[in-house]
Structure formats: structure tokens, C-alpha cells
């Protein structure tokens, strides 16, 4: 009996039954807010990865963070133990977009706020976050600017005038830089670094170049990252 009493005393130290309703309320708020955040990310996110699949992690991450904070906030020993545990754990998450990291921080912030017993303040801050995200996406549409490598080739060098191509690109590109040109008796190839403000200008530039001569071929390659 003494062992059981000691076990219960050790495990229930710092715990009060009066805290259960507050914990349940914070848990529900945390789950609801992270669920809404997942829906917002799936709708307004600009990531090219599977946003819906990524957003499914938000709820688990948020309530896990909340539980950890709820456990350690009243114990210095547990807080130090948590720091020690995290120092030996490596998370190798394939984060390809800065936007993904931003939403993960938002999710963790929700868990931190609810775990600290500041559920109402977390709701107020969350409403502010969502308002900013909505406003930003409403008045600043998805970024369509493209930084690309443009390669122009032809098996009839006499039909291609490099100066003419450059002048043509200047009409459609917001930025242009010649990177390389190779010309032989049989072929000519020119590589440019170009920047377009939108896809329509890219299509217009491609059409104008291909109209120079039927032998001209055009290829674009992304310059920013691999997907």
C-alpha cells in the first residue's frame, strides 16, 4: 500500500482535478485551430507539393506541442529533461518551401499558446493570422514571376540572328542575360538567363522566337529549385 501511495503521490504531484476542464478546453481549441489552419493552407498555400497531405500533420503537431508544454510548464526538472531529449533528436523533414516552414511555426505556436493556458489569447492571435493570410492572398495573387534558363537551338545557323533574338526577348522579359553561345557550320545554340513577369509573356516570347524560322527550337528550364 505504501508503494502504491508513493507512486500516486509522485505521479499526481502538481496535478489538480480542477485543471482538467481547462486542459480539455485548451485541447479542443488547439485541435480546432490547427484543423482550420490546415484548411487555410490547403486553399491559400502556394507550395507545389501535396498541400492536403502536408496539412494533415498540423493537428497532431499542435496537440503534441500543447501536451508537452502542459506537462513541463510546472516542472523545472521536466523542462530541463525536455531540452536534453530534444538535443539528441534529429528531425529530417523534407521541407522544400519556406511557406511550409512558416505554417509549421504557426502550428507550433498554436500548441504553445494552448499548452500555456492562453487559449483565448491564442484564438485572438489566430484570427489575426488568418486575416493577414486572407488579405495577402486577396490583394497579392500567387507569384507568377519565372526565372528560367532559355536555350535556343537551330540546325540552320544562317537563319538565326542573335542580336534579333536579344531585341525580341527584351520586349517580353523583365530581365535577360546571355550565358553562352555556341555556333558551328551545322548548328547554333544560345543560352540565356531570363525573367518573365507572368506566363503570358513567356508564351509570347516563345511564339516570337519560333516564328523566326521553322528550324528554331526553344526550351525552358527552371533556375530556382528542383521539385
**pLDDT tens-digit readout, 140-150:** 654 455 678 88
Range of the structural domain that residue 66 is part of: 19-139
Last residue of a domain, one of 94, 118, 139: 139
In a domain, 67, yes or no: yes
Same domain as 177, residue 127: no
In a domain, 97, yes or no: yes
pLDDT at residue 162 tops 60: yes
Burial 99-125 (b: 16+ CB within 10 A, else e): bbeebbebbbbbbbbbbebebeebbeb
Question: How many domains, the chain?
Answer: 2
> Using CB atoms within 10 A of its CB, is residue 184 exposed (0-12), middle (13-18) or buried (19+)?
exposed
Residue (of 214, 210, 177) closest to 195 by Cα position: 177
Same domain as 54, residue 123: yes
List strand residue ranges (DSSP E) for the chain, in order.
146-154, 175-183, 188-196, 217-222
pLDDT band at 161 (very low <50, low <70, confident <90, very high): confident
Same domain as 109, residue 179: no
Dihedral, CA of residue 85, residue 87, residue 93 and residue 96, to nearest 10:
150
pLDDT of residue 176: 86
Instruction: Check: CB of residue 210 under 8 Å from CB of residue 216.
Output: yes
Q: Alpha-carbon distance 133 to 19, whole Å?
A: 34
Instruction: State the DSSP H helix or E strand holding residue 138, giving kind and residue range, or none if neither.
Output: helix 119-139
**Residues present in the chain in total:** 227
Q: Which of the residue ranges 46-60, 122-136, 196-210 has the most confident prediction, judged by mean pLDDT?
A: 122-136
Same domain as 102, residue 204: no
Same domain as 120, residue 213: no
Same domain as 99, residue 24: yes
Same domain as 87, residue 62: yes
Same domain as 160, residue 89: no
Task: For 29-45, write each residue's pLDDT tens digit.
Answer: 999 999 999 998 888 77
Same domain as 180, residue 93: no
Residue with grid cell 523545472, as numbered in its chain: 76
In a domain, 114, yes or no: yes
Same domain as 161, residue 194: yes
In a domain, 2, yes or no: no
- At 146, list the grid cell: 519565372
Same domain as 160, residue 132: no
Last residue of a domain, one of 115, 139, 163: 139
Range of lowest pLDDT (11-15, 30-34, 36-40, 101-105): 11-15
> Which of 221 and 38 is assigned the larger pLDDT?
38
In a domain, 227, yes or no: no
Same domain as 195, residue 168: yes
Residue with grid cell 525536455, as numbered in its chain: 82
pLDDT at residue 183 tops 80: yes
Q: Alpha-carbon distance 36 to 28, whole Å?
A: 12
In a domain, 14, yes or no: no
> Which of 23 and 128 is assigned the larger pLDDT?
128
Q: Alpha-carbon distance 194 to 148, whole Å?
A: 5
Q: What is the CATH number of the domain that holds 214?
A: 3.30.70.120
Last residue of a domain, one of 97, 119, 139: 139
> Which of 139 and 13 is assigned the larger pLDDT?
139
Amino acid at each position: 500500500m505504501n508503494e502504491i501511495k508513493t507512486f500516486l503521490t509522485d505521479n499526481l504531484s502538481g496535478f489538480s482535478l480542477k485543471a482538467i476542464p481547462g486542459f480539455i478546453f485548451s485541447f479542443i481549441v488547439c485541435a480546432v485551430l490547427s484543423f482550420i489552419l490546415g484548411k487555410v493552407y490547403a486553399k491559400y498555400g502556394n507550395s507545389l507539393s501535396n498541400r492536403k497531405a502536408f496539412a494533415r500533420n498540423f493537428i497532431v503537431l499542435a496537440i503534441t506541442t500543447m501536451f508537452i508544454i502542459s506537462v513541463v510548464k510546472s516542472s523545472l526538472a521536466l523542462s530541463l529533461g525536455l531540452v536534453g531529449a530534444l538535443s539528441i533528436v534529429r528531425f529530417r523533414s523534407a521541407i522544400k518551401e519556406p511557406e511550409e516552414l512558416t505554417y509549421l511555426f504557426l502550428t507550433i505556436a498554436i500548441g504553445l499558446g494552448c499548452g500555456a493556458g492562453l487559449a483565448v489569447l491564442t484564438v485572438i492571435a489566430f484570427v489575426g493570422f488568418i486575416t493577414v493570410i486572407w488579405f495577402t492572398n486577396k490583394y497579392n495573387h500567387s507569384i507568377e514571376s519565372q526565372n528560367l534558363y532559355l536555350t535556343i537551338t537551330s540546325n540552320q545557323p544562317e537563319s538565326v540572328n542573335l542580336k534579333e533574338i536579344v531585341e525580341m526577348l527584351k520586349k517580353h522579359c523583365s530581365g535577360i542575360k546571355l550565358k553562352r553561345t555556341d555556333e558551328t557550320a551545322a548548328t547554333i545554340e544560345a543560352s540565356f538567363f531570363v525573367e518573365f513577369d507572368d506566363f503570358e509573356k513567356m508564351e509570347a516570347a516563345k511564339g516570337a522566337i519560333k516564328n523566326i524560322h521553322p528550324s528554331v527550337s526553344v526550351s525552358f528550364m527552371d533556375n530556382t529549385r528542383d521539385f
